[in-house]
Amino acid sequence: MRAVVFAGDGGVRVTDVPEARIEEPADALVRVRRAAVCGTDLHTVAHGDGLDPGTAHAPGTVLGHEFVGEVVATGAAVVGHRAGDRVVGADFTACGSCWWCRRGDHWECPGRRFFGTGTAFGPALDGAQAELVRVPWADTVLRPLPDAVGDDAAVFLGDTLATGYAAVRRADPLPGDTVAVVGGGPVGQLTALAAQACGAGTVLLVEPVEARRALAAAEGSVAVAPDDAGGAVRRLTDGRGADVVVDAIGGPRGLDTAFGLVRRRGTVVSVGVHTGDWSLQAGRAFADELTLRFAIGDVMRDGDALVALLGSGVLDPTVVVGETVSLDDVPEAYRRMAERRTLKSLIVL
């Protein structure tokens, strides 16, 4: 089968790889209809030696973790899916039965494997930018899709929209609260839309790229450049600061910006990928009673709410799609996304 693989030296290529197959009784095999290029893909490709020490990303690794497709085969233990079902996959696996999974904390499952990211987040598992993908623990990891949710929207359920929704739920804003989002990439844009859908008052998005600010403004946010963010938040909140700030960038820059915008007794939630250390402003955090949380999207936990949002038309994640490409065009799509020439690339197979 054909797939997008890590080529080394920060690049990707399309090549033939061994066809995915059922390996365990709880597996399903999915023929991919839609996949997507994600910021996490860009991180893992750019840092081919691993996001952290000891997490090597071997050349030849099949990439991708956002996918929608059709079940073509199931293992003997799969009871919730059958051939022909249209499904969306979570971006990582979980067993569904351990203590963590029973609490809805699938990311902490000892059996976690993240599609297409090498060993950065667990044992390696081939990704979904391919004609076929093997899905372990299919009854937990796959979710059936209603006809009301099309493939182009559904592909965001596995990661990008799930992450934005998780950020908002983790922050637990009150109706009418002011929510600031740092970063106008796909996750930041969908976090802003999720905040609006969940009852936020004013949503402010902070982003240096003008075209991304324009998109956010067209979708209902107040969009500002980073240098203007502090003044805008003060004007919108009578000088208090934002009730909630979501860091959708990651790293010290995102967290420092978020802490500069949050009010006393406010909440900062970070959903950006972190690869290094950061110094917490502990004195201020204590004196101002600040809350700092981190969140990772999980369609296995939040799928009912997410599918309902899409099915009702309250939220349309496809507004972040900058282009739709074939499998052959994916290497160029990676380059365009890395250079910020397009916001989000969908892959049609």
Alpha helices in 9-126 (DSSP H): 39-46, 99-102
Query: Which CA distances in Å does 335 have to 62, 186, 214, 341?
Result: 17, 16, 22, 8
Cβ contacts of 255 within 8 Å, gap of 6 or more: 247, 268, 270, 278
- pLDDT(53) > 50: no
C-alpha angle 95-248-298 in degrees, rounded to nearest 5? 15
Tokens 């059996």 map to which residue? Answer: 111
Which CATH fold topology does 2-159+298-348 show? Quinone Oxidoreductase; Chain A, domain 1 (3.90.180)
Sequence ranges of the chain with CATH classification 3.90.180.10:
2-159+298-348
Report pLDDT digits (tens) over 151-199: 999 999 999 999 999 999 999 999 999 999 999 999 999 999 999 999 9
Q: What are the pLDDT digits (tens) for 97-145?
A: 999 999 999 999 999 999 999 888 899 999 999 999 999 999 999 999 9
Q: Give me the helices (H) in 225-318, please.
A: 226-236, 251-261, 282-287, 299-312
| 94 band by pLDDT with thresholds 50, 70 and 90 | very high
Within 13 Å of residue 284, how many CA atoms lie on the same side as its CB?
A: 12
pTM of the entire predicted model: 0.95
Question: Where does the chain hold its CATH 3.40.50.720 domain(s)?
Answer: 164-294
Q: E-strand spans in the chain?
A: 2-8, 11-16, 28-37, 67-74, 86-89, 132-135, 142-144, 179-182, 203-206, 222-224, 242-247, 262-270, 291-294, 323-325, 345-348
Please give the structure tokens belonging to residue 253: 């820059």
More confident residue, 8 or 107: 107
The CATH classification number of 164-294 equals 3.40.50.720
Strands (DSSP E) along 271-340, which ranges? 291-294, 323-325
56 — pLDDT class (breaks 50, 70, 90): low
Closest CA to 195 of 210, 180, 214: 180
Look at residue 48 in the predicted model and tell me its pLDDT. Answer: 61
**70-81 mean pLDDT:** 98
- What's the mean pLDDT in 61-90? 98
